[in-house]
Amino acid sequence: MKKVIKIIVSVLIALLFLSTFVFLYQKSQPKEIVYQILKAEKSDIVQTTIATGKIEPRDEVQIKPQISGIISEVYKEAGETIKKGEIIAKVKVIPELGQLNAAESRLRLATMNGKQSTIDFERVEKLYEKKLVSSEEYEKALLANQQAREELQAAKDNLEIIKDGITKNSASFSSTLIRSTITGLILDVPIKVGNSVIMSNTFNDGTTIATVADMSDLIFKGNVDETEVGRIKENIPVKITIGALQGMEFKAILEYISPKSVENNGANQFEIKAAITVPEGVKIRSGYSANAEIELQRAEQALCIPESALEFTGNHTYVYVLTDSVPNQKFTRKAVTAGISNGMQVEIKEGLKENELVRGLKKEF
């Protein structure tokens, strides 16, 4: 019984050694390498570049107040449409103490001068009726009286403007009523009732009451690298894709290329603008991130192969042409002249014929 067990153990050990030897022998044998076979075929090839940017309205206006004060009423909200001349908000004027005192003093002085001028004129008028003074003196007195009245009215108006921002005689042209200067969509109303606002002047841009834009006229604004800007020009077609509107593509026309570059992350880039055609019923919001696909070069019915089939050595480009496939694949190295590429396919100008087979990537098993 012990002999039988020893024999069985010996056989198992022998089988283990034998299988290990066979496995190692097979592993040591070189494997046949098989490549994908690609055909050179004619097709249209287009080289493009992608510019990143945003969608913006061509006309976007910031509405500023014509007078400083405090917002007393807000009549519009962001998202509402508005016509030119419509009121957005109302400003309550808070008079500056120095200006108020000066205006009140001017009014008091104009009132006194007006009264004295009226007395002088009435005296000259009576003398003129009795023909005791000349017509020239009468006309001078009349003019002085009229000037005094005008100054009195101007002083009253000035005081009303400083106190209320408006006069009774010009209520329809009130600077306290902030009106839209264009017809469009209100993008933003950054103020609230009670906020202080400042009018635009030499030292201050003024407080923005609202931002209004014409959303029927949109443009794409982005940047193109300096290595590609020389191959594009105005009035060429552009394809626009918007991240927020998946599956949609918009037509556009390139209408502006900046003559001056700007530095962006260490690279020189040029600003571009393209006018977008928006289909009816599609709503695009201002500020959407977008990509513009711009055509750089095109080759009609060019001989093309996948770019993965190329081999680059120094300044030369090669492909491996299939010469035999039985029993093993055999290839001949040939120099070729490559043309434009779209990142997947590349144009072959010289060195290959239509329908020739070339080596691609290794097949995975």
User: pLDDT digits over 72-102, tens only?
Assistant: 899 999 999 999 999 999 888 776 666 767 7
pLDDT at residue 96, as a whole number: 63
Residue 138: closest CA among 123, 153, 128, 148: 128
Confidence of residue 124 (pLDDT cuts 50, 70, 90): confident
Higher pLDDT, 112 or 170: 112
Least confident of 5-14, 147-156, 229-238, 265-274: 5-14
Q: Whole-number mean pLDDT of the chain?
A: 85
Higher pLDDT, 266 or 186: 186
Place of tokens 């097949």: 363
pLDDT at residue 173, as a whole number: 47
pLDDT at residue 11, as a whole number: 65
Q: Average pLDDT of 54-78?
A: 90
C-alpha triplet 273, 274, 275: angle, nearest 5°: 130
Distances in Å between the alpha carbon of 127 and those of 115, 121, 122, 133, 135?
A: 19, 10, 9, 6, 11
Confidence of residue 125 (pLDDT cuts 50, 70, 90): confident
pLDDT at 362 over 90: no
- The separation between CA 14 and the C-alpha centre of its own chain, rounded to angstroms, equals 78
Torsion of CA 299, 301, 307, 313, to 10 degrees: -70
Least confident of 153-167, 259-273, 312-326: 153-167
pLDDT at 3 over 80: no
CB 320 within 8 Å of CB 331 = yes
Confidence of residue 335 (pLDDT cuts 50, 70, 90): very high
Distances in Å between the alpha carbon of 25 and those of 18, 22, 85?
A: 11, 5, 92
pLDDT at residue 343, as a whole number: 84
Least confident of 28-37, 55-64, 178-187, 321-330: 28-37
Q: Average pLDDT of 115-139?
A: 84
Q: Give the pLDDT confidence of 19-32 residue by residue, as tens digits.
A: 666 555 555 555 66
